[in-house]
Homo-oligomer: A and B are copies of this chain.
Amino acid sequence: MSKVRVHNFAVSLDGFGTGEGQTLEAPFGHAGTRLMGWAFGTQTFRGMGVGGPGEGSHGVDEAFASNWADGIGVEIMGRNKFGPQRGPWEDEDWKGWWGDEPVFHTPVIVLTHHPRPSVQMEGGTTFHFLDAGPAAALEQARALANGLDIRIGGGATTVRQFLEADLIDRMHVVLVPIVLGRGERLWDGLEGLEERFDIEATPSPSGVVHLTFTRRS
């Protein structure tokens, strides 16, 4: 059976997966680039045009970062990862942060209480908008995934929901040693989560700690 995976999901020491006050210019709100700085140095992110020029590192951050796409047939993301609009869509021209040819190259299900028509992008990415709980969304995702794995792409609200519903098989969380103070918390409502996973920690010279959660069978 295909797996449900989380990759490269960054959290602060105080458990925030994003800052407060998202805008078009600041997708992570007041967190700025602090949560994703570790990734911007890697070959994988540089290769996606993120983080500046140059080839990027190929150390432990890259080893983890590079696993995000392999074997993935669909991503499920939350509506706030897709963009900064809230409530009913005022601008249906908005097609995500990722330009005409988004980095996903698979179908992407965007969870929202405000569905809109699907949008087909270049390079194999199609955004589908779905108003559904985690289990139902996963069922739809499996139908689109061609037997491949499903990535839960974030943000915090979305990952948390899938963890609460116990639908995640493998999760890679990047603990960033910063205290954000405010934003969206990943761990809320997940008391005892560790009982369901084997957890391994790997530090990086960049200062972050890679935590992998592997679901106990």
Least CB separation from A203: chain B residue? B201
Cα-based distance from A14 to B194 in the complex (angstroms): 12
Cα-based distance from A178 to B211 in the complex (angstroms): 12
- In contact, B203 and A202 (Cβ under 8 angstroms): yes
Cα-based distance from A187 to B13 in the complex (angstroms): 8
- In contact, B191 and A182 (Cβ under 8 angstroms): yes
- In contact, A190 and B179 (Cβ under 8 angstroms): yes
Chain B residues, Cβ within 8 Å of A192 = 178-179, 181
Q: Is A59 in contact with chain B by the CB < 8 A criterion? A: no
Q: Is A63 in contact with chain B by the CB < 8 A criterion? A: no
- In contact, B191 and A181 (Cβ under 8 angstroms): yes
Q: Is A136 in contact with chain B by the CB < 8 A criterion? A: no
User: What is the 8 Å Cβ interface bit string for chain A, positions 189-216, against chain B (1 contact, 0 not)?
Assistant: 1111110000111110001110100000
Cα-based distance from A193 to B14 in the complex (angstroms): 11
A-B residue pairs, 10 tightest by C-beta: A181-B191, A14-B187, A201-B203, A179-B193, A177-B199, A178-B194, A179-B190, A201-B209, A14-B15, A179-B187
26 contacting pairs across A/B (C-beta < 8 A): A13-B15, A13-B187, A13-B193, A14-B185, A14-B188, A15-B15, A175-B201, A175-B209, A177-B199, A177-B211, A178-B192, A178-B193, A179-B187, A179-B191, A179-B193, A179-B194, A180-B191, A181-B190, A181-B192, A199-B207, A200-B207, A201-B203, A201-B207, A201-B208, A201-B209, A203-B209
Known A-B contacts: A15-B15, A200-B207, A209-B209. Give 16 more (CB < 8 A): A14-B15, A14-B185, A14-B187, A175-B201, A177-B211, A178-B193, A179-B190, A179-B191, A179-B194, A180-B191, A181-B187, A182-B191, A201-B203, A201-B207, A201-B209, A203-B203
